[in-house]
Chains A and B, each alone.
Chain A
């Protein structure tokens, strides 16, 4: 897959309430997307406490779970996304030399 400007990232972040993990995960995700995927990403946040029925949609048991809907194939990245390298691998974004 070519890493051209035409690629877009559709991401869905599942959290369970405003827990420290939820807040950390969203902050990490936003920072990373802004620095690496600016203008080419869309984040949807699903709070399962508010919408428990949505847990079935993407088979969520662990939170936080980030679901990469696009680009295919679907991948799930679990955790508060503090491990940037692994998030990048999960998102299929090439790591930069400066590590951010």
Chain B
């Protein structure tokens, strides 16, 4: 049975460390093998517990499907809960075709119907029937991976506590003796991890899944409670279930080891490049543009994207406020046509309502999209909507991971941030701005009966940059910085005042133009 299967990956050898290296079986689940240094303990049972609807069944199923497709390891899924039809249907939502895998004998789905009301206990019994049945299933397709879902249901009709405990212990020993890499799922109980104290029987690996609703959005988290012979963080990691399966956002500290680039990328606005020493941002920078509504944040983002596309670089634009058509229409009104780049697949606009997923869900999804398509430029417009959800430190930690992840890949990222009016811009952004290399403020302050657009660079790590507040206008050719008009006292005139003073200056003595004085 060595038919060739799709994208089979090489199976890493033992990835353990220390005196007793523990061989690992990669799950193929995005992010999971990273956080576990290679996957689940090979040839041993892992306990996966969590409450109803937390994703146990799907995670376990993906482990089998990827094992069969990518690592050439057939698997047996023994279900005490969902029927085969339900399993097939649910897996289809992740893009898995279980029927096809079953037909090719890469997967065996076995639904065990247990009806406690049909059962009468009359004397001593054991679970040899299960062992024989499972053993037969394993042998019939040469399975290397096994899932038992959910173990509590198996015991729901058995009242003899003593037998249940003894048989549980025997089940885990039997699985080990069979040398299959197994996931046994258990229902989370309020007080204990599981009803029968399953965790006592599993010495190698215990994983807890959890789903919480925070601010109306569901957030899934995964935590490795125990992993013998492996270093693991006890931290909770957000994960996402979508039409590609499960993705876990690795918490592995990417650290600050990334190479700082000295190459520059244009901001897309000539005048703005000048403010950054005529060159623009560093490649791999994370840039924050904050300002109140309608100050031109998205326009700056569009310029940046267009310039990147002109260089032939892929841009991924995460839009959390507007649809792709709204964005392209609005940008066309200031002379930026993004549609040709979309047609050439250099620009992808990924629009999603912020409420569609929890914040962590968004971050995981972004992580995956970036990993898949490998853009060189990423825009998040606006990042604020996501920040509003969840506790600030948590959000900041995750955003930091996303930024680190992009830096490691030398992706230049621009985040817009919508701030409240009333001069609080600098304060509200503080939490996020510390993560950024470049921080710009755009505004349209009202003075002398008119509003004029201004831009200033608050910080730009490692770069000489202008400290001036510059005026800019939106023209048919996009954002254009207006030449500075400095008064005799050194202050900068903007808006009509600038116009008037410049006209005055021109009309009067032939004073040399003061333009292009940005340093």
Contacts and interface: CB of A to CB of B under 8 A. Distances in A.
A28 B124 CA distance: 12
A82 B125 contact: no
Contact of A52 (B113, B123, B132): B132
Contacts of B124: 21, 24, 79-80, 82
Interface stretch (A1-9, A34-42, A62-70): A62-70
B159 to A, nearest CB: 10
Given A16-B129, A48-B132, A49-B132, A61 B123 contact: no
Nearest to B139: A52
B133 A61 contact: yes
A80 B123 contact: yes
Contacts of B125: 21, 62-65, 78-80
B130 A62 contact: yes
A13 to B, nearest CB: 12
A29 B319 CA distance: 71
A61 B130 contact: yes
A63 B122 contact: no
A90 B117 CA distance: 11
A24 B122 CA distance: 12
A79 B123 contact: yes
B126 interface: yes
Given A56-B133, A61-B112, A48 B128 contact: yes
A21 B110 CA distance: 26
A14 B129 contact: yes
Contact of B113 (A28, A59, A65, A90): A59
B136 A55 contact: yes
Contacts of B120: 75-78, 86-87, 89-90
A25 interface: yes
Interface residues of A, number: 37
Interface string A82-93: 111011011000
A83 B125 CA distance: 12
| Size class of the B contact interface (CB-based, 8 Å) | 20 to 34
Given A61-B154, A78-B122, A87-B122, A56 B129 contact: no
B118 A16 contact: no
Contacts of B121: 77-79, 83, 86
A21 to B, nearest CB: 6
Contacts of A81: 122-123
Contact of B126 (A28, A59, A62, A89): A62
B129 A65 contact: yes
Nearest to B119: A76
Interface in B57-89: none
A83 B122 CA distance: 5
A90 B132 CA distance: 25
Given A56-B110, A86-B120, A90-B120, A62 B136 contact: no
Contacts of B158: 62, 78
A60 interface: yes
Contacts of A100: none
A87 B110 CA distance: 29
Interface centre among B110, B123, B154 (most CB of A within 10 A): B123
Contacts of A14: 129
25 contacts: A16-B132, A17-B128, A24-B123, A25-B123, A52-B135, A53-B136, A56-B133, A59-B112, A59-B113, A60-B133, A61-B133, A62-B126, A63-B128, A65-B125, A65-B129, A75-B118, A76-B118, A76-B119, A77-B119, A77-B122, A78-B121, A78-B122, A79-B124, A81-B122, A86-B121
Interface of A: 14, 16-17, 19, 21, 24-25, 28, 48-49, 52-53, 55-56, 59-65, 73-84, 86-87, 89-90
Question: 6 tightest A-B contacts by CB?
Answer: A79-B123, A52-B136, A90-B120, A16-B128, A55-B133, A82-B123
